[in-house]
Amino acid sequence: MQARMKNPAMVLPDAMKGIQNLYKAMHQGGVPQQLLELVHLRASQINGCSACVYAGVQGARKAGETDDRLATLAAWRETPFFTDAERAALALTEATTRLADRSGDAVPDDIWDAAADNFDERQISAIILMVAVTNLFNRINATIKEPAGASWT
């Protein structure tokens, strides 16, 4: 399997600079790397982005994530492996990724309130940015048919 073209963020270097600045900002938000990786992976699972799911599993493992949690992330509501804070972040991730699935309020108050009960504004900002950047890459990868395991270098 081969992508249709190089990743646009590599074709247009200023785009990659902007994305790198977003990642730098995300990592200043005080959210553990492990949780940011779970957020990335869950959004990628929802969007069916094989390249990002593959990279997300690799990144999560590198951050110390366990096989049990990785294996059950898609069914996180039905498992005992996630904390209340992680559940709040995953619910926010799902609502933010599935904006068109709800009529009216895309991110309901109960989901927002759970996130606000577990994270401060900087942390929520980092989580929202991770979801947004992940959705950006999911859409790029789906369009160019980026295969799982592909390297940008």
Average pLDDT over residues 28-57: 97
CB 141, CB 9: distance < 8 Å: no
Structure tokens at 79: 């498992």
Give domain limits for the chain. Answer: 33-144
DSSP state of 152: -
Helix pair 50-62, 33-47: axis angle to 10 deg: 160
Specify the pLDDT at position 25: 95
pLDDT at 152 over 60: no
Specify the pLDDT at position 151: 63
- Max Cα distance, the chain (Å): 44
Q: How many CB atoms lie under 10 A from the CB of residue 134? A: 25
Specify the pLDDT at position 66: 96
Top-level CATH class of 33-144?
mainly alpha
SS3 103: coil
Q: How many CB atoms lie under 10 A from the CB of residue 106? A: 13
DSSP state of 137: H
Average pLDDT over residues 121-131: 98
pLDDT tens digits, 61-113:
999 999 999 999 999 999 999 999 999 999 999 999 998 887 788 899 999 99
Residue 10: pLDDT band (50, 70, 90) is confident
Residue 153: pLDDT band (50, 70, 90) is very low
Top pLDDT among 127 and 99 is at 127
pLDDT at 21 over 60: yes
CB 76, CB 90: distance < 8 Å: yes
Whole-structure pTM value:
0.93
Q: What percent of the chain is modeled with pLDDT above 90?
A: 87
